[in-house]
Amino acid sequence: MKIDITGRHIEVTPALREFAEERLRKLEKLLIGPLEAHVVLGISKHRHTAEVQVKSKTVTLAGAEETDDLYASIREVADKLERQALRHKQKVREHKQKHGPRDPEVAAQIGAQASAAEGEPIAEELEAPRILNSQRYRLKPMSAEDAILELEATAEDLLMFRESTTDRINVVYRQKDGNFGLIDPEF
């Protein structure tokens, strides 16, 4: 695990560095792949803050705590990150149990082995995809610029809206490079 520790208005002592590294090492057991952690320790008047961001192969965890003692702040933020890591690990485990392997051939082999073990006939075809989540949207009349502003204010990846000038349904979506795309269907 690579840990960078930065001090704001404080000199990071070896004891602080060792304590922070010891508390964050517990995350190595919970997260997959190599970990990178960035710790920012700060003191301002009577407030001692610890901000930590941990990046792994599958997830980025972040937390901040503020107390009267710097060691307590580090301990609390490390506990918070440990809870986040446990929730992530549980979510991954439930997803794998619910959906099985991603490769259809592997899923078919596992299904065939399970049904053969139970004495059932082997099904040749996999189950067809289903709709698992459905949402209803109230389409607000707005311009594409207004839709982009509203999308920037949320954590969503897309926004469906009714174009105010043409009264057509459009979609604005966030691209991986940080730009936005517009889907304007033709009828």
**Percent of the chain residues topping a pLDDT of 70:** 83
CA-angle at 114, arms to 113 and 117, nearest 5°: 85
On whether the CB atoms of residues 43 and 10 are closer than 8 A, the answer is: yes
- Regions of the chain where pLDDT drops below 70: 99-127, 187
Q: 172 has which bridge partners?
A: 159, 182
Q: Which CATH number fits domain 141-183: 3.30.505.50, 1.10.10.10, 3.50.50.60, 3.40.50.970?
A: 3.30.505.50
Taking each continuous run of H as one helix and of E as one strand, the counts in the chain are 5, 8
On whether the CB atoms of residues 141 and 161 are closer than 8 A, the answer is: yes
CATH fourth-level superfamily of 2-98: Ribosome hibernation promotion factor-like (3.30.160.100)
Q: Give residue 43's pLDDT.
A: 93
Q: Do domains 2-98 and 141-183 have the same CATH topology?
A: no
For 182, residues 6+ apart whose C-beta sits below 8 A from its C-beta are 144, 170, 171, 172
| Digit-coded pLDDT (tens) for 125-134 | 456 777 777 7
What whole-number distance in Å separates Cα of residue 167 and Cα of residue 156?
23
Q: Give residue 122's pLDDT.
A: 46
Task: Domain ranges for the chain, please list them.
Answer: 2-98, 101-130, 141-183
| Digit-coded pLDDT (tens) for 139-177 | 888 888 888 888 888 878 888 888 888 888 899 998 888
At 7, is the secondary structure helix, strand, or coil? Answer: strand
